[in-house]
Structure 1
Amino acid sequence: MHTIFELQQLLETAINKVEYPAHPAKLYEPLRYIMRLGGKRIRPILVLLSSELFDKDAADAIEAALAIETFHNFTLIHDDIMDNAPLRRGQDTVHIKWGVNNAILSGDVMMVEANKHLTNLDSSVLKAALNCFNTTAQGVCEGQQLDMEFEQRSDVSIPEYINMIRLKTAVLVGGAMKLGAIVAGASDQNAELLYNFGENFGLAFQLQDDILDVYGDPAKFGKQVGGDIISNKQTFLLLKLKELANTEDQLKIQLQETNTDLQSKIGVITSLYNKYFIRELAMDEMKHSLDTAFSSLTQVSIAETKKAELIHLAKSLINREH
């Protein structure tokens, strides 16, 4: 079994070795750019880790990991266009650097490149791997659509929000783990249990992100603390507040939606979160997802010692400050 650090090195080497066509330059330059911008590489690492759980050498699962990372970065290019985001990992987003039309097309070809990586897998696992990948990709698109629709609605329920983040964020984590298991020839039951672990862990990860957006340390978070409050984003925290607030506080929440004094807006909403113990309730929800995740991992029928690296990674991600 490799350590996380060794898997990261293996992955970075593989990413740097991928050769995209030279022409048309403006189609392929954005691919090289975004794939080498770095990031945590959590999803492809999970592919490799999952394959090693079942005694497959990580090197044999590298094409599946590259497929997942290429797909993930494709979604980032298109998400950044939809969100009109100027920065990604502290650098210009692809549409800012090359223009919107170029970014759309480069994103499209990334989806093709992701599939090309998958076709390099052994034919004995290819069909199952493609089914897993396509189901995952479709779920992510559904989640992004729901996220956009929720921006126009004031009646989003917490179960709807949980389902949206499950699709937008968590299914890719689950899909990455299931793909690693499939490549390694794991049983259907073990592959599904790993998927359940990944999906529920992905939910916990996103809920942690919602909490960090309000309560994170600005020096460590890497993004503007309170960004979700400023953009009136309907996170678990805001939806829970709306559910619990009294009539007077409901009015305060409504007034903040159009408040242009951003520091005041962050202050008012955060104080309401504190009044109703929203952070604690969000932590409870996150812990519930984590418990469900680890319950699935316990049932995966391999030696517990083999799960140590995965458990260590999961705990470090949940205890993160950014």
Structure 2
Amino acid sequence: MGADKIIRPEWIPEAYRGMEAPARNKKQMRELHELQDIISDAVNKLNFPEYPAQLYEPISYILALGGKRMRPALLLMACDLFGGNVEAAIPPALAIEVFHNFTLMHDDIMDNAPLRRGSVTVHNKWNQNVGILSGDVMLVQGYKLMMQVPDHLLRPILDIFNITAIGVCEGQQLDMEFEELTNVSISEYLNMIKLKTAVVLGGALKIGALIGGADAKDADLLSDFGVNLGIAFQLQDDILDVYGDPEKFGKQVGGDIISNKKTFLLLKSLELADSSQSAELNSWLNAKRFNSTEKVQAVTAIYDSLSIRQLAEEAMQTYADKAFEALDAINLPENHKQYLRNFADGLLVREH
């Protein structure tokens, strides 16, 4: 079999079978929304076996719930940046999306979550055993999709996928452990969000870059860009949970405070608080019954007195700067780097 020959199983959309690597003539970069639309269309065309129905229907169900398709779109974006054939990168991009939804299916079981994107979770619609087994098959289907990359890239790309998948599982485990621990350091928290959230962005970008023809150095730099951007994004999420406009942010403001979630803001407050502030914080953290509005206001007041928002924004900016340093070192035309800068700005400049 030729190095760039791509063989696709029967459940890959017909439109994406038999594609060959393109000539390296660069066209206009595609907009992010175009890449997201390509992924959504490809997800809709995925064909899974009909039997046994309870194994495969939940997969189609969770994939149909939508989402921003940001992770697979980043893979396509990276391929496009280096002059690759975006269409030929669709199967590995789908692999990232299938894998991501597999983690969501199992996370929902662990969290006993009733809803996912406003719809009933798989384990509630069917049952927990179905959710576990369907998730297992999703992981395997993700690998089947990822194996559709050119032969000469198969081993390095599967290595990246493996490292990414293990990192996400490690991050989820740490996140669950942090719920029970009383002492979690800032560095432990940053490592957790790196593993749980940011490594997928880095992995997707790295795989897309290699498919697009990037060398190993540039692919690593693009991965560093994605990982640091992912950490900055999560830190901003922590900030917006407390200080965001719920109408623009799309979430309940103060939700992390109500649930005692160990975010950068809470951990930094516990680190800096004096004895009276520490006592008040711990009294809210240990309270079994409380008025949610009162708790959010009281904890936010402590954050304000310690300038926690400013410290969190400085930490976020530190990781954003690291992302842009990696980007500056990549061997890409300046207009392509600017495309990534604009993407990062769009991701990090959200309404407060």
Match of 2:180, SS state, is: coil
Matches within 5 A, 1:171-182: 171-182=199-210
Q: Matched residues in 2 for 1:320 and 1:182: separation?
A: 30
Write out per-residue CA displacement over residues 39-74 of structure 1, whole angstroms, 9 at most, x where no aligned residue. Answer: 111111110011111100211111111011111111
| 1:227-238 paired onto structure 2 within 5 Å | 227-238=255-266
- Find the residue that maps to 2:201 and give its secondary structure: helix
Aligned partner letter, 1:254: N
Q: CA deviation at 1:311?
A: 2.1
More displaced, 276-285 or 26-35? Answer: 26-35
One-letter identity of the residue aligned with 1:176: A
Contact 1:4 1:309 in 2 (8 A): no
Q: How does 1:245-264 map to 2 (within 5 A)?
A: 245-257=273-285, 258=287, 259-264=289-294
Q: How does 1:1-322 map to 2 (within 5 A)?
A: 1-257=29-285, 258=287, 259-321=289-351
Partners of 2:83 and 2:213 within 8 A in 1: no
Higher relative contact order (CA 8 A, sep 6+): 1
Letter in 2 for 1:226: G
- Number of positions where the alignment pairs a residue of Structure 1 with one of Structure 2: 322
Specify the structure having the higher radius of gyration (Cα).
2
Please tell me whether the aligned partners of residues 178 and 195 of structure 1 are also in contact (alpha carbons under 8 angstroms).
yes
* Residues 68-120 of structure 1: per-residue CA shift (max 9 Å, x gap): 11111111111111122222212222222122111111111110110010111
With the length of structure 2 as denominator, give the TM-score of the two structures: 0.89
Q: TM-score, normalised by structure 1?
A: 0.97
Q: Match for 2:120: what amino acid?
A: D
Question: How far apart in 2 are the matches of 1:23 and 1:38?
Answer: 24
Give how far 1:270 is off. 0.9
Runs of 4+ in 1 over 4 A off after TM superposition: none
8 Å contact from structure 1 (residues 125, 185) kept in 2: no
Matching residue's letter, 2:153: V
Once the 2 structures are TM-superposed, how far is the Cα of residue 260 of structure 1 from its aligned partner?
A: 2.4
C-alpha separation between the residues in 2 aligned to 1:198 and 1:109? 28
Match of 2:20?
none
Larger CA deviation: 301-310 vs 57-66? 301-310
Which shifted more, 197-206 or 19-28?
19-28
Question: How far 1:316 sits from its partner (Å)?
Answer: 0.9
1:233-282 deviation digits (Å, cap 9, x = unpaired): 11000000001111001010111021422111111111111111111110
> Contact (CA 8 Å) 1:49, 1:310: kept in 2 or not?
no
> Could you say what secondary structure the match of 1:151 adopts?
helix
Cα shift at 1:309: 2.8
Q: Which runs of 5+ in 1 are unaligned?
A: none
**What is the distance in 1 between the residues matched to 2:53 and 2:174?**
34
Runs of at least 5 residues in structure 2 that lack an aligned partner in the other structure: 1-28
Q: Which amino acid aligns with 2:244?
A: G
